[in-house]
């Protein structure tokens, strides 16, 4: 599987420094999950897309946040979406979030030498409620109380550790996701653009975005 367009990695410069330039994040709350991501896609130092959508829906209540190679993560998300669709038709039930995470983990691990993909799988199901799974480069899978990924995550682990609380409300989770990603965008040169968020609940999914000039923290908010 060959990557031609990457988030923070120039596919034409394989011998150069490889960076999974992006910021992705997910937090479960009482009754669902909030997922967020920046929107900058770059090839080396060139910004190829300022408003990319890095949060992909693969089932009714399951989403994937993508970081690494855009081509690789798009292909992986398409595979997982196809497999989950087949599973849903065969069983007559909505797939569990952990099944989607295991599918993604297997694809990432079995192709780890040919892919550059770090993803977060998040969603809601009737068995375990809201959940997030972190699958970094290499194909490890970890169920997390919250998940961060991409180059921008290194700037905000302390902020999220200090601010996160179990059983947060959806409003508090959204505020924390937007605040943390905007901090990362202000510090990480590979993250930028707008903040896209998805709130997943049993009643449905609510997509939203925050423009770059209205970030809760950054050049417009200092």
Domain boundaries, the chain: 24-42+55-210
Per CATH, the homologous superfamily of domain 24-42+55-210 is Aminohydrolase, N-terminal nucleophile (Ntn) domain (3.60.20.10)
**In the predicted structure, residue 19 carries a pLDDT above the cut 80:** no
Q: How confident is the model at residue 47 (pLDDT cuts 50, 70, 90)?
A: confident
Q: How confident is the model at residue 20 (pLDDT cuts 50, 70, 90)?
A: low
pLDDT tens for residues 137-171? 999 999 999 999 999 999 999 999 999 999 999 99
Residue 91 known to be catalytic: no
117: three-class secondary structure by DSSP: strand
pLDDT for 4: 35
Q: What percent of the chain has pLDDT over 70?
A: 89
Mean pLDDT for the chain overall: 89
Average pLDDT over residues 185-194: 93
**By the 8 A CB rule, do 65 and 50 touch?**
no
The whole-model pTM stands at: 0.88
Distance CA 112, CA 197 (A): 28
Average pLDDT over residues 24-50: 92
Catalytic residue among 22, 23, 73, 197: 22
Query: Which residue has 């994937």 as its token pair?
Result: 64
Distance CA 148, CA 31 (A): 20
pLDDT for 217: 79
């Amino acid at each position: 599987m060959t990557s031609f367009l990457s988030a923070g990695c120039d596919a034409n410069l394989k011998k150069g420094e490889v960076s999974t330039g992006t910021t992705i994040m997910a937090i479960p709350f009482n009754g669902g999950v909030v997922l967020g991501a920046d929107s900058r896609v770059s090839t080396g130092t060139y910004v190829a897309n300022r408003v990319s959508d890095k949060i992909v829906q693969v089932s009714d209540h399951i989403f994937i946040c993508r970081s690494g190679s855009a081509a690789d993560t798009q292909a992986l998300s398409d595979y997982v979406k196809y497999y989950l669709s087949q599973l849903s038709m065969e069983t007559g039930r909505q797939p569990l979030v952990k099944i989607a995470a295991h599918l993604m983990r297997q694809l990432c691990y079995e192709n780890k030498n040919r892919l550059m993909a770090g993803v977060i799988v998040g969603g809601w199901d009737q068995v375990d409620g809201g959940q997030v799974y972190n699958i970094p480069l290499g194909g490890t899978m970890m169920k997390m109380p919250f998940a961060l990924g991409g180059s921008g995550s290194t700037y905000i682990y302390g902020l999220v550790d200090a601010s996160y609380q179990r059983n947060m409300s959806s409003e508090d989770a959204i505020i924390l996701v937007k605040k943390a990603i905007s901090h990362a965008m202000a510090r990480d040169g590979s993250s930028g653009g707008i903040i896209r968020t998805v709130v997943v609940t049993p009643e449905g999914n609510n997509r939203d975005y925050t423009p770059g000039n209205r970030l809760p923290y950054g050049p417009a908010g200092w």
